[in-house]
A and B are shown apart, each in its own frame.
Chain A
Amino acid sequence: MQAITSEPGIMQLSRDEGRAMLDERTRRVLGMTLEEFEAAYDAGTLDLTRSDVIGLTILLPFARP
């Protein structure tokens, strides 16, 4: 994790840190590992009517290009 500007309060995560952060959230919110979440997203099986699921898909750039 590193600061990317001189302005306080903005931290950039490495890929590994980003995956760890997102894994914690997918486990806590959906009871799924990040890998399971990514697989479900790629398969089109996520429930995209849920705000919490939508939010997690928006954060996928933390996990992969």
Chain B
Amino acid sequence: MTTAVLLVSQEHGGSEAFTISEDPLRLRSARLSADVHLQLQHQYQLVREKARRSWHASTAAYAYTLTSSGRELAAWHWHPASGVAYPHVHVTGAVLDHRVHVPTGRVSIESVLRMLIGDFGVAPLRDDWDDVLAKTERDFIEHRRWHA
């Protein structure tokens, strides 16, 4: 859906982060009359698994935000160090506003991208997008240490 790249912070043994090079990432939606914009911020730590002598990435926080025409549509958050300890989504609706933290399970980046393609009509650049998302999401599901 984009030629933008993922930017990764320099490793120094503590918390690391990645984001999208284009901020916000502008995506053409076949469903909306305006573009939809995606912002992605993800923080993690590399943890050494002594028994396996391998590493895994442990998510420390995430924020995935969708906006359109200057209005926030939805924002999936998990930022336990900043007040709200559980994964949640902010949505704008008749009775919901940004102050409400609707509880969710841990939300994968892949599920947000799948929603953009399926529900917002954003065109993927690869024909095998579904397989790519399924594979990386499978890894996330198999290796996550917890989920709400």
Q: Which residues of A contact B (CB under 8 A)?
A: 1, 4, 8-15, 18, 21, 25, 48-49, 51-52, 54-62, 65
- Name the B residues within 8 Å of A56 (CB-CB): 41
In the complex, the number of residue pairs spanning A and B with C-beta atoms less than 8 Å apart equals 84
- Chain B facing A: main interface SS: strand
**CB of B22 to closest CB in A, whole Å:** 12
Asked whether, in the complex, the Cβ of A55 is within 8 Å of the Cβ of B41, the reply is yes
Taking a contact as CB atoms closer than 8 A, the residue among B6, B12, B79, B83 that contacts A11 in the complex is B6
Given contacts A10-B5, A58-B62, contact A51 B10 (CB under 8 A): no
Q: List 26 A-B contacts (CB under 8 A).
A: A4-B8, A8-B5, A9-B5, A10-B8, A11-B6, A13-B10, A15-B10, A25-B23, A48-B79, A48-B83, A51-B65, A51-B75, A51-B98, A54-B41, A54-B63, A54-B82, A56-B41, A57-B79, A58-B42, A58-B62, A59-B9, A60-B15, A60-B17, A61-B14, A62-B10, A62-B19
